């Protein structure tokens, strides 16, 4: 299908398909008279939406782009589809997030028997590339399975309210910040579940394992076995995902729990240290200061407020 073309040289050129829009669908393009203002205003130039929408059961929906001049996210909430790009072919299913960076040619289409339902967003700005890099560090088209996420759906729907604001600049300032919130949320959801090797790391399972051992310790072999992986491969994937080792992450969880105890209880620092598995309160205090930036007593006295 051909793309809709605007009459001016704006970021909206060649961006949306001309898929017939049923009543329950949404397609909204940011008014072109706002673009110069959005790109120059310090409150919006970092990131701004260009176009957005929701296509339910989008039978015959397809698009092929050789030139792609902005960033695009697509979130499949039902049905199936197919994506082809220079670096691969993906069969898209419910819960998949598609990331199509600027400059990457691509082609996608809905399944004929079970056409997908899609939320989608075109965006750009000075921060756009950095945010997209969180989702695809190698700047190539990528697909993440994030499952059904009510918070993502509600953020999209809230962003769609821009349709009813005409060209209100205050509303678009808010919309730009909603856009950044949405992309950072998607990046968080994606990175919780995928490592650089492409194999799943269930961070909720890792955190549950560590939370059960906050009052003591564990061996890395034990955690790796719990995650059904070798010690070497688990540690590598974990560091790729979080930029720190499992033990560094565990210490941070311990210190966060120590902060909660200092804030909500009258226990002595020695007792808090012992409850977290540290027999030496001085060693605990050094670790706490290294992680939090304050000694435990300074923290308790309000030095963090």
Going by pLDDT thresholds of 50, 70 and 90, the confidence category of residue 5 is very low
> Which helix (DSSP H) or strand (DSSP E) does residue 36 occupy?
helix 35-40
Task: Note the pLDDT of residue 200.
Answer: 60
Please enumerate in sequence order all residues whose Cβ is within 8 A of that of 61, keeping only pairs 6 or more positions apart, or say none: 17, 19, 55, 81, 109, 110, 115, 116, 118
pLDDT tens-digit map of 21-41: 888 899 999 998 999 999 999
Q: Which residues of the chain form CATH 1.10.10.60? A: 203-303
Q: DSSP code of 2?
A: P
Going by pLDDT thresholds of 50, 70 and 90, the confidence category of residue 20 is confident
Going by pLDDT thresholds of 50, 70 and 90, the confidence category of residue 3 is very low
Lowest mean pLDDT across 13-17, 28-32, 41-45, 211-215: 13-17
| Fold classification of 203-303 (topology level) | Arc Repressor Mutant, subunit A (1.10.10)
| Fold classification of 26-193 (topology level) | Jelly Rolls (2.60.120)
Helix (DSSP H) and strand (DSSP E) numbers for the chain: 11, 10
Q: Which of 187, 19, 14, 12 is nearest to 117 (CA)?
A: 19
Task: Note the pLDDT of residue 204.
Answer: 78
pLDDT tens-digit map of 183-199: 999 988 887 665 434 45
Q: How far is CA 206 from CA 65, 185, 229, in A?
A: 40, 20, 12
Q: Which residues of the chain form CATH 2.60.120.280? A: 26-193
């Amino acid at each position: 299908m051909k793309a809709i073309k605007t009459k001016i040289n704006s970021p909206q050129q060649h961006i949306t398909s001309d898929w017939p829009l049923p009543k329950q669908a949404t397609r909204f393009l940011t008014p072109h008279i706002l673009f110069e203002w959005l790109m120059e205003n310090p409150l919006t130039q970092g990131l701004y939406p260009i176009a957005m929408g929701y296509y339910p059961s989008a039978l015959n929906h397809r698009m092929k782009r050789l030139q792609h001049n902005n960033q695009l996210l697509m979130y499949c909430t039902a049905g199936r589809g197919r994506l082809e790009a220079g670096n691969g072919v993906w069969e898209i299913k419910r819960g998949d997030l598609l990331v199509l960076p600027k400059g990457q040619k691509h082609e996608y289409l809905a399944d004929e028997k079970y056409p997908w339902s899609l939320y989608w967003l075109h965006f750009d700005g000075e921060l756009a590339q950095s945010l997209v890099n969180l989702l695809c560090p190698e700047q190539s088209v990528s697909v993440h399975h994030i499952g059904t996420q009510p918070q993502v759906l509600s953020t999209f729907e809230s962003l769609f309210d821009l349709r009813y604001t005409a060209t209100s600049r205050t509303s678009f300032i808010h919309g730009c910040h909603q856009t950044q919130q949405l992309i950072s949320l998607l990046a968080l959801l994606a990175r919780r579940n995928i490592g650089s090797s492409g194999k799943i790391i269930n961070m909720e399972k890792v955190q549950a394992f560590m939370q059960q051992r906050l009052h003591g310790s564990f061996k890395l072999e034990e955690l790796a076995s719990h995650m059904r992986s070798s010690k070497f491969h688990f540690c590598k994937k974990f560091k790729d995902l979080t930029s720190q080792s499992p033990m560094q992450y565990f210490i941070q969880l311990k210190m966060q729990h120590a902060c909660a105890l200092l804030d909500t209880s009258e226990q002595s620092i020695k007792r808090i240290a012992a409850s977290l598995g540290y027999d030496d309160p001085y060693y605990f205090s050094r670790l706490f200061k290294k992680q939090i930036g304050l000694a435990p007593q300074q923290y308790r006295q309000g030095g963090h407020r």
